[in-house]
Amino acid sequence: MSAERTGQKTSDDGKFITYEFKQSILCPSYLIALAVGALEKREIGPRSYVWSEKETVAAGEFEFTETEKFIQACEELCGPYVWGRYDVLLMPPSFPYGGMENPCLTFVTPTIIAGDRSLTSVVCHEIAHSWMGNLITCQTWEDFWLNEGFCVFVERKALRKLFGEQFAHLQGWTPAGRFLIFALFVFSFSFFVFIGFDMSGKSA
């Protein structure tokens, strides 16, 4: 679930198990997620598991071993990761998106399992959402593209930090391109409304 697991209870007759979760950080309702299935997990970092059906869990374990590096690179740019766990769930092939940045549990498409970690920048992107979109977000769906814009900005800076300028040039992030992105970032900022949520649900 898009929360930290706090425990489980078995019913007196032994027929049911109740799993308990807690999300102590207020977040937009569109980020609430619950996953149910015949899932296995493998540890991929000090605060991360990959979850999947047994047929693909080993491939996911190999593919996402750089997850902690991505988190740390984003932390250097944006501050501490405050959500506790960061787990990755491999979805069925019918999942129609690259990823979904639910707090504590990112959903990703199995199509990024390439066997050489060449497509895992998707995970870095979803990690960047832990700040840009999850902690802060736009006020209305009309401006939702700004969530993605700020997220891509952080993702690219994190990947450049990890893999260097040659990687950035290979991706087409040239100096001129960086200037354009920065200019758009500054321009967009004047229209971007960050909102928080108090316990009543009102914008702060």
Q: Is 127:165 a contact under the CB 8 Å cutoff?
A: no
Q: Is 40:7 a contact under the CB 8 Å cutoff?
A: no
Distance CA 108, CA 114 (A): 13
pLDDT at 140: 84
- Splitting the chain (204 residues) into consecutive groups of 10 residues, what average pLDDT does each group show? 90 91 90 92 97 96 97 97 96 93 96 94 96 89 87 91 83 65 63 45 46
How do the domains of the chain map onto residue ranges? 4-189
pLDDT at 58: 96
Element at 45 (helix H, strand E): strand 40-45
Q: What architecture (CATH level 2) is domain 4-189?
A: 2-Layer Sandwich (3.30)
